Structure 1
Amino acid sequence: MARIVVIGAGLGAMAAAARLAVAGHRVTVYEQGATYGGAVGRYARDGFAFDTGPGLLHLPAVYRDLFVKTGKEPLEECVALTQVDPAARHVFADGTRVDLPNASRAGTVAALDAALGAGAGERWGDFLTRAREAWDRTRRPLLEEPQPADPAPLAREPYPAPKAGLLRRPTRTLAQVGARELRDPRLAALLDAYAWSYGFDPAGAPASAAVLPYMEQTFGSWYVAGGLRALADAVYERCRKRRVEFVFDTPVVDVLEKDGRAVGVWLDGGREVAADHVVSGAPVPALYRDQVVEWERGEDWPRHQVLGTGRVTVCLALRGAREADAVHRTVVHAEGGGPAVTVLRPDDPALRPDAGHEAVTVTATVRTAPGQEWEAFADRMVEAAGRAVPGLRDRLLWRHVRTPEDVRRDTGAAEVPGPALAGAGGRLLPAANRSPLPGLYFAGGWSHPGGGLAHAGMSGALVAGLIVEGADFRGSQ
């Protein structure tokens, strides 16, 4: 039985902790804050409650696998999952609206043809076929296997060019895919919105980012009753049942190294904790910046994705009942391109004081910059949200603005990492789960396979596999 210290209580770190505890190891989690969940937070006031991190779950199979492998109760006995249908309503800058069904390619094609004109759905369907090729080429190495020692093959673009016509020349960016293959500014905006929602600017994102809409439209979008915070609650309780020990309000200030190997951690206050393995769920950039692990900027310095994109979240407490034909998620597209605003309106009694009120969450991607006027930015977000929520301004009781600095306080980094993407010369590959320092492993959104709830859960499975099976581990089955 090994002694394992886990730094941080985010979803990826807790997923690793639960799996390692089931394997017979003694696991202790040290969390700098007062609670677990990392970016999967909750803001509550006056009977209203809001998710302050992700609002929807994609690829729920990741957490189903976690619960199957760590206990008798399956995921659905611990949380209530429902498919969100329609998956999203898109409101384009010209006023056009389209409701896209959940996990139905034929339904999506029909909806796009009806809203945008004949041929629009076919072009989107052809695009999804090429996106599937990119998915099939990268799914195992990007999601289910440890990052290869030589990631050079993943630096090459896997998205295929159309096989006929003038478009056969290679496509380098997602924006080029929209302009050359979709040939409708609204379809291009639809594609761009998926990239922005994960923190990628379509103008610089590789064409392989096509896997993001493919993933959502193929595997669906799911809501957890009570909000995504309920998933964090369930994972935490699973850890506790497996006898994982949690120590809150206890920052780790250093990783102990002896004879070229991690052998424990220093806690704030000077206490030393010995360990056979250390799993860090802290943001990898913060780990480097704060010199918790001191590596020279050379071969071992991460050449991977070290910067994410900021998120602003506005929690809106509204008087008046949610209208009967309201949809769970609306994406309001900006004029002239740029990040869209996402409006989440879950029909969930647990999030509102009574049926005569509604809790609405509005999010947008933003590039963090010193001196940003967040309240003015939030004003623009609320104005855009008014296109999705009838009478929003007259119904508004109060709002709470959550900025990137709030994210930094809770998670250690103001940015939110995106998922790993192939292509782009390898710039969007996160840190490998096995760090350059033997005995130290990375779990969570800043490590392979990148950001997002599903990806964080995958990182926990990969770290547990590397520790339990060692060099023989070849990935999830």
Structure 2
Amino acid sequence: MARIAVIGAGMGAMAAAARLAVAGHRVAVYERTETYGGVLRRRERDGFSFDTGPGLFTLPAVYRDLFVKTGREPLEECVDLVQVDPSSRHVFADGTRVSLPNASRAGVVAALGEALGPDAGRRWGDFLVRAREAWDRSRRPLLEEPLWPNWQVLAEREPYPAVPHKRLLRTRRAGTLAEVGSWELRDPRLVALLESHALAYGLDPRGTPASAAVLPYMEHAFGTWYVRGGMRELARAVYERCVARKVEFHFGAEVSGVLEEDGRVAGVELRDGTVGEADHVVAGVDPHRLELMTGHPLYGDGDVRPDPTERRPGRFTVLLALRGPRESGAAHRTVVHAPDRTAELDFLTARAGTPVRPTVTVLRPDDPALAPDAEHESVVLSATVPQGAQWDGGETGERFADLLVEAAEAAVPGLRGRVLWREVHTPGAFGEETGAGFGGIPAPALAAGRGRFLRPANTTPLPGLYRVGGWSHPGGGLPHAGMSGALVAGLIVEGPEFRGSQ
């Protein structure tokens, strides 16, 4: 039985902790805040409840597997897991609206064909076929296996089978997500639909590889899911599974250093000087913080390294307490697309400048647990914003919140007249909760793009030290966090020969 110290109580860290405890190890989790869950936070006020992190997720099979492997009770006995239908409603810049059914390629194609025209539906259907091929080519190495030592193969090989495009007597294939939209989808509304999946992670489609086509494919193929009571309930269930497996949790326990002895980890040191001895350390923190904890570089020659100058875009959220009931037929999620795509992308990548009206996601769960009674409603608005703008402590944040509310009126009739109160959650507040630098959003790992969209391996050059969570392989997102926990547990239990689930 090995002693294992886990830094952080995020979803990836807890997934690893539960699996390791079932394997017979003694596991202690050290969390600097007073609660668990990482990005899955909840805000409660006056009988209203809000998810301040992700409000939906895909690939529930990741967490079903976690619960099967760590106990008798399956996931569905621990949370009320439901498919959201429609999966999303979209309001495009020209006012066109379309509702997309959940987990139905044929249904999505039919809905787009009816709203945007038969050619648009056919082009999206053809795109999904190619996106599935990209998924089949990249799924295992990017999600189910530890990062390959020869990861350069993933960096150089584009799995998306782009359609040849003739331009100025030359034949080219799309290399970026923006080119996929421009050359293969053509309709600006389909382009907005495609690119919204990248924008949700702060990715600029103009520089994001075509392999990001897997992001909308995952949603269409595996569905969009919600946990009644709020997504925080998923974190509660994973935490309780850890406790049931005898994982020890220490809250308010900030790790300041990773201890070494004879060239390998020996435990962790807390800010108050307390030492937790360990044979293995699993770190669910961003790579820059982890290097500070060890005091030396954690990347060997040829390793995937994070860009030290990268400042990931963050999530700006507005919580709305509304008077009046949720109307019949309201969609759980509505995406109101930006009126000016180029202006939005330029603002997102410029890190400063005058805010423009962004693509806004409006979440209106049909969940009585989130409001004090049936005559009120809880609504969450969110948008992706650049690092560098002064969101906290000034007028910029409030003015930007006004832009989100203005956009959301396309999804919530009479919205501004229904507002009882609102709260603004900035990227800085998100960073304080999660420990992510500047509140940045980690994106899922993607193939191609010269390796810029891969995340550092779960192993490190320091024996016994492992990375877990969204800032490590296989990247950000709730499913990916759960997968990182499974990979780290496999590497510790089976050793470096572990090659992932079969």
Deviations 1:327-353 (A, max 9, x none): 100000001113511000001011000
1:328 to 302, 325, 332: 332
Q: How many residues align?
A: 476
- The 1:71–1:116 alpha-carbon spacing in structure 2 relative to 1, beyond 3 Å, is same
Instruction: State the one-letter code of the partner of 1:54.
Output: P
Tell me the equivalent position of 2:301. Answer: 299
After TM superposition, give the deviation of residue 375 of structure 1 in Å: 1.5
Q: Kindly indicate whether the alpha-carbon contact (under 8 Å) linking 2:5 and 2:278 is maintained by their aligned counterparts in 1.
A: yes
Q: Kindly indicate whether the alpha-carbon contact (under 8 Å) linking 1:344 and 1:360 is maintained by their aligned counterparts in 2.
A: yes
Deviations 1:19-56 (A, max 9, x none): 00000000000000000001110000000000010000
- Determine helix, strand or coil for the equivalent of 1:135: helix
Tell me the equivalent position of 2:266. Answer: 263
Q: Kindly indicate whether the alpha-carbon contact (under 8 Å) linking 1:252 and 1:266 is maintained by their aligned counterparts in 2.
A: yes
Q: Kindly indicate whether the alpha-carbon contact (under 8 Å) linking 1:68 and 1:74 is maintained by their aligned counterparts in 2.
A: yes
- Please give the alpha-carbon distance, in whole angstroms, between the structure 2 residues aligned to 1:455 and 1:359: 28
Q: How does 1:135-174 map to 2 (within 5 A)?
A: 135-156=135-156, 157-162=158-163, 169-174=172-177
- Please give the alpha-carbon distance, in whole angstroms, between the structure 2 residues aligned to 1:285 and 1:340: 30
Matched, 1:445 2:459: no
Matched, 1:182 2:185: yes
Tell me the equivalent position of 2:499. Answer: 474
Tell me the equivalent position of 2:365. Answer: 346
Q: TM-score of the superposition, structure 2-length normalised?
A: 0.92
Instruction: State the one-letter code of the partner of 2:477.
Output: G
Tell me the equivalent position of 2:397. Answer: 374
- The 1:296–1:57 alpha-carbon spacing in structure 2 relative to 1, beyond 3 Å, is closer
- Please give the alpha-carbon distance, in whole angstroms, between the structure 2 residues aligned to 1:363 and 1:435: 35
Alignment RMSD: 1.5
Q: Kindly indicate whether the alpha-carbon contact (under 8 Å) linking 2:256 and 2:293 is maintained by their aligned counterparts in 1.
A: no
After TM superposition, give the deviation of residue 150 of structure 1 in Å: 1.5
Tell me the equivalent position of 1:412. Answer: 435
- The 1:385–1:49 alpha-carbon spacing in structure 2 relative to 1, beyond 3 Å, is same
After TM superposition, give the deviation of residue 164 of structure 1 in Å: 8.0
- Please give the alpha-carbon distance, in whole angstroms, between the structure 2 residues aligned to 1:359 and 1:377: 20
Q: How does 1:223-302 map to 2 (within 5 A)?
A: 223-288=226-291, 290-295=292-297, 299=301, 302=304
After TM superposition, give the deviation of residue 260 of structure 1 in Å: 2.0
Using the aligned pairs only, state the percent identity: 65
- Please give the alpha-carbon distance, in whole angstroms, between the structure 2 residues aligned to 1:320 and 1:24: 52
- The 1:351–1:136 alpha-carbon spacing in structure 2 relative to 1, beyond 3 Å, is same
After TM superposition, give the deviation of residue 307 of structure 1 in Å: 4.5
Q: Kindly indicate whether the alpha-carbon contact (under 8 Å) linking 2:103 and 2:222 is maintained by their aligned counterparts in 1.
A: yes
Tell me the equivalent position of 2:350. Answer: none
Instruction: State the one-letter code of the partner of 2:237.
Output: A
- The 1:168–1:461 alpha-carbon spacing in structure 2 relative to 1, beyond 3 Å, is farther
- Determine helix, strand or coil for the equivalent of 2:495: helix
Q: How does 1:46-195 map to 2 (within 5 A)?
A: 46-156=46-156, 157-162=158-163, 169-195=172-198
Instruction: State the one-letter code of the partner of 2:82.
Output: T
After TM superposition, give the deviation of residue 165 of structure 1 in Å: 6.7
- Please give the alpha-carbon distance, in whole angstroms, between the structure 2 residues aligned to 1:364 and 1:199: 9
- Determine helix, strand or coil for the equivalent of 1:334: coil
Q: Kindly indicate whether the alpha-carbon contact (under 8 Å) linking 1:158 and 1:422 is maintained by their aligned counterparts in 2.
A: yes
Tell me the equivalent position of 2:455. Answer: 430
Q: Kindly indicate whether the alpha-carbon contact (under 8 Å) linking 2:298 and 2:461 is maintained by their aligned counterparts in 1.
A: no
Instruction: State the one-letter code of the partner of 2:422.
Output: R
Instruction: State the one-letter code of the partner of 1:320.
Output: G
- The 1:25–1:291 alpha-carbon spacing in structure 2 relative to 1, beyond 3 Å, is closer
- Please give the alpha-carbon distance, in whole angstroms, between the structure 1 residues aligned to 2:159 and 2:305: 20
- Please give the alpha-carbon distance, in whole angstroms, between the structure 2 residues aligned to 1:379 and 1:63: 37
Q: Kindly indicate whether the alpha-carbon contact (under 8 Å) linking 1:295 and 1:301 is maintained by their aligned counterparts in 2.
A: no
Instruction: State the one-letter code of the partner of 2:175.
Output: R
Q: More displaced, 350-359 or 196-205?
A: 196-205
- Determine helix, strand or coil for the equivalent of 1:472: coil
- Please give the alpha-carbon distance, in whole angstroms, between the structure 2 residues aligned to 1:164 and 1:360: 43
1:318 to 300, 313, 322: 322
Q: More displaced, 410-419 or 86-95?
A: 410-419
After TM superposition, give the deviation of residue 199 of structure 1 in Å: 2.1
After TM superposition, give the deviation of residue 437 of structure 1 in Å: 1.3
- The 1:233–1:394 alpha-carbon spacing in structure 2 relative to 1, beyond 3 Å, is same
- The 1:82–1:351 alpha-carbon spacing in structure 2 relative to 1, beyond 3 Å, is same
- Please give the alpha-carbon distance, in whole angstroms, between the structure 2 residues aligned to 1:238 and 1:220: 25
Q: TM-score of the superposition, structure 1-length normalised?
A: 0.97
- Please give the alpha-carbon distance, in whole angstroms, between the structure 2 residues aligned to 1:170 and 1:113: 25
Tell me the equivalent position of 2:348. Answer: none
Q: More displaced, 305-314 or 216-225?
A: 305-314
Q: More displaced, 230-239 or 308-317?
A: 308-317
- The 1:329–1:50 alpha-carbon spacing in structure 2 relative to 1, beyond 3 Å, is same
Matched, 1:360 2:379: yes
Deviations 1:115-164 (A, max 9, x none): 01121111001111111111111100000000011200110221112268
- The 1:179–1:238 alpha-carbon spacing in structure 2 relative to 1, beyond 3 Å, is same
- Please give the alpha-carbon distance, in whole angstroms, between the structure 2 residues aligned to 1:165 and 1:217: 29
- Please give the alpha-carbon distance, in whole angstroms, between the structure 1 residues aligned to 2:287 and 2:269: 18
Instruction: List alignment gaps of at least 5 residues for structure 1.
Output: none
- Please give the alpha-carbon distance, in whole angstroms, between the structure 2 residues aligned to 1:304 and 1:129: 32
Instruction: List alignment gaps of at least 5 residues for structure 2.
Output: 345-357
- Please give the alpha-carbon distance, in whole angstroms, between the structure 1 residues aligned to 2:128 and 2:234: 30
Instruction: State the one-letter code of the partner of 2:488.
Output: V
Q: Kindly indicate whether the alpha-carbon contact (under 8 Å) linking 2:59 and 2:223 is maintained by their aligned counterparts in 1.
A: yes
Tell me the equivalent position of 2:424. Answer: 401
Q: Kindly indicate whether the alpha-carbon contact (under 8 Å) linking 1:88 and 1:327 is maintained by their aligned counterparts in 2.
A: yes
Instruction: State the one-letter code of the partner of 1:273.
Output: G
- Please give the alpha-carbon distance, in whole angstroms, between the structure 1 residues aligned to 2:47 and 2:102: 30
After TM superposition, give the deviation of residue 169 of structure 1 in Å: 1.8
